[in-house]
Structure formats: C-alpha cells, structure tokens
Amino acid sequence: MTLLQGNADLVLLVIVAWALQDRVKNTWLWAIIAGLLTSFISGLQFPVLIGSYLVIVAGIRLLIKRIWQVPILMMLVGTILGTIVLLVIEYMTLVIGGTPLPIGDSMSLVILPSVLLNLLFSIPVYTLIADLANWLYPNEKEA
C-alpha cells in the first residue's frame, strides 16, 4: 500500500509491536532476522537495515522502561519514531552514497506519508502481535 511515494512497512511495525511485549525476551534476534531478510532484497547496503532495526528496538526498550507503561500509546509513539529513524537512516545512507535526494521531497513525499500509513496499520498489528505473544508466552498466573 502506497501513499504518494511512501509505503507501509509491516516488518517495522511487527518489530516495534514485538519489542513492546514485556514477556518477549528475544526481540534483538528477531530484529536481526528481519534486517537480514529485508536486506536480502533491498538495494540498500547490508548493515543499514539491520542497524536501523536494532536502533529502533533499543529505543523502544529504553522508552518502555522509563517513560510509559501504556503499550498502545507506546505503539503509536514507537511507530512514529521508528519510521522516522528508519527512513532518515536510509536517506542519509543514500545521500552519503551519492544518490541525489532532495530533502524537501524526501520529507513530504516519502517520510511523512510513510509515517501516516504506518500509524494506520499500527493498532491492528499491535493487537495481532499482542495476541501472538500471549499465546506463545502465557501469563504464569493464568497458566
């Protein structure tokens, strides 16, 4: 799904939602796997996506411990920040590599539409991932 030149990044949303689950221990591993899989088909340099996903996971783990305990709000904040971080890192990598990308167009045609699309999908993705996490790691009291 695209809006202007931006698109929804389901992999990023899954990583953000997965990182927000308290009981999940191996988020880092999944961030690396997601980065590897995406890098395999992307024209970006190999470590860029892995590094971006790891930075996003680190940011979310940091925020969730120190700031909010409301996961649904954290999902929205994580989606906005995660999308911006990922696309800014991609943008900087490409610009440093010599690709001419106007910053105004990049912001208005790619980054902001992508943030909007990701926000639209963030709540459904969070619900699915939360259910999946509860199914895989049931609460000890419930069990």
Partner 1 sequence: MNNKLPRYFQTAVLILVVGGILILALSGYLNPAIQSASDPLIKVQTWVSSRYLAIYQFFTVPRDVASLREQVASLEEENNLLKTKNIELEQSLQVAKVLSELVGFARNRPENQYVAASVIGRDPSPFLHYVIIDQGSDNGLRYGMPVVTQQGLVGRIDAVIGGASRVQLLTDPGSTVNVTLQNAGEDGVITGSLTGDLNLEMVAQDVTLETGDLVLTSGLGGSYPQDIVVGQVITIRRRETDLFQTASIQSVVDFANLQAVLVIKNFSPVDISPLIPETNP
CB nearer to partner 1: give 99 or 134. Answer: 99
CB 86 within 8 A of CB 52: yes
CB of 93 to partner 1, least distance (A): 9
CB 11 within 8 A of CB 38: yes
Q: How many CB atoms lie within 10 A of CB 13?
A: 26
CB nearer to partner 1: give 81 or 93. Answer: 93
Helix pair 46-66, 71-96: axis angle to 10 deg? 150
Q: How many CB atoms lie within 10 A of CB 118?
A: 26
- Residue 59: which H helix or E strand, with range? helix 46-66
CB nearer to partner 1: give 74 or 117. Answer: 117
CB nearer to partner 1: give 69 or 100. Answer: 100
Residue 104 tokens read as 């105004």
CB of 55 to partner 1, least distance (A): 16
CB of 1 to partner 1, least distance (A): 11
CB of 66 to partner 1, least distance (A): 31
- Site for partner 1, rule CB under 8 A: 2, 5-7, 9, 11, 38, 41-44, 87, 90-91, 94, 97-102, 105-106, 109-110, 114
